[in-house]
Amino acid sequence: MKVCKSALLLVMLLISGFGWARNSDADFAIRIFEQTNSERISRGLAELALDKDLQRLAADYSRRMCAEGFFDHRDPDGLLVQDRLQQEYPGLIHCGVGENLFMSDRSSNSNNPDYIVRRWLASPEHRKNLLDAEFTHMGVGIYRNGSKLYVTQILASPILRLTSRLPRKLVANESYRLDCEYLSPRSREDFNCSLATPDPNARIKVDLFSYYTGLIPLKCVWRKDGTLTLILDFRAGSGEYKLQAGWGEYYYSDLFTFKVL
């Protein structure tokens, strides 16, 4: 069984001397999104889908950088993009995330968001994020104030988005239904989920003759629209259960934590 943990490479790019005209921020962001996909497709990579949570997170970060007077991947609270994503959108279950930033403090009559993408491509670390074959979704956030322009691009590999709420208190030896939106472009045919038990040595019986050690396989109930319901099973007592998800024998661990009383 193969366990994969995603590595995150975060970098910063500060560029002066770029100008823009007063087109809408939404159009500006879409052009960056389209140009990013154009560059990926030209290199034989899959295009990225636009994600609403990543879009909102990126827009908020561009606004914060301007309002609070900083330009860095680490915010004044010490949080990086993966921390902010976990804090603001804990229901977006992902297996990797990266971030590119751009700031300009000059304006002119030119208006070319493609320039930003070209500058990212010229930077080895930004290029690595932008052309990462593992990323499947993206969000772009634009914020302008006077002559200043801030751009945040967040790229990620989301697997599920939780669409239902669980009770505030989860009780051991009970089962719960959790509705999810399936976001991965990979086929759902061999997709599976499981829970790592609080005690890694716990024996979980699955039938008359076999058991798992430290792992509870979860039932996935699929609907015609591609959404699914996970039947959460906390039969191994109280403690922290870790969600794992993947395809076949290839899975990602520690995607979400359930605290059970």
Residues 60 and 185 in one domain: no
Residue 190: which CATH number? 2.60.40.10
Q: Residue 207's pLDDT band (boundaries 50, 70, 90)?
A: confident
Q: Residue 11's pLDDT band (boundaries 50, 70, 90)?
A: very low
CA 191 – CA 247 distance, rounded (Å): 4
Q: Residue 190 corresponds to which tokens in the numbers above?
A: 């061999």
CA 198 – CA 226 distance, rounded (Å): 31
Residues 143 and 173 in one domain: no
| Predicted local distance difference test score (pLDDT) of residue 23 | 52
| Predicted local distance difference test score (pLDDT) of residue 107 | 56
Domain boundary among 104, 126, 158: 158
Domain boundary among 101, 135, 158: 158
Residue 114 has pLDDT above 90, yes or no: no
pTM of the model as a whole: 0.86
Residue type, 257: T
Range of the domain at 226: 163-260
Compute the mean pLDDT over every residue in the chain, rounded to the nearest whole number. 87
Residues 173 and 153 in one domain: no
Write the pLDDT tens digit of every residue in 216-246: 999 999 998 889 999 999 999 999 999 999 9
Residue 16 has pLDDT above 80, yes or no: no
| Predicted local distance difference test score (pLDDT) of residue 208 | 76
Residue 22 has pLDDT above 60, yes or no: no
Residue 51 has pLDDT above 60, yes or no: yes
Residues 132 and 75 in one domain: yes
Write the pLDDT tens digit of every residue in 55-71: 999 999 999 999 999 99
| Predicted local distance difference test score (pLDDT) of residue 211 | 85
Is 102 a domain residue?
yes
Number of domains in the chain: 2
Residues 48 and 135 in one domain: yes
Find tokens 């279950």 and name the residue.
93
Residue 107: which CATH number? 3.40.33.10
Residue 2 has pLDDT above 80, yes or no: no
Residue 14 has pLDDT above 70, yes or no: no
| Predicted local distance difference test score (pLDDT) of residue 26 | 87
Average the pLDDT over each of 107-116, 118-127, 245-254 and give the range with the smallest value.
Answer: 107-116
Which residues fall within 8 angstroms of residue 114, CB to CB, at 6 or more apart? Answer: 31, 35
Residues 174 and 255 in one domain: yes
Mean of pLDDT values over 175-201: 94
3-state secondary structure of 1: coil
Is 195 a domain residue?
yes
C-alpha torsion angle, residues 247, 252, 254, 258 (rounded to 10): -20
Q: Which residue has the higher pLDDT, 9 or 242?
A: 242
Residue 5 has pLDDT above 50, yes or no: no
Share of the chain above pLDDT 90, in %: 74
Domain boundary among 158, 189, 221: 158
Share of the chain above pLDDT 70, in %: 89
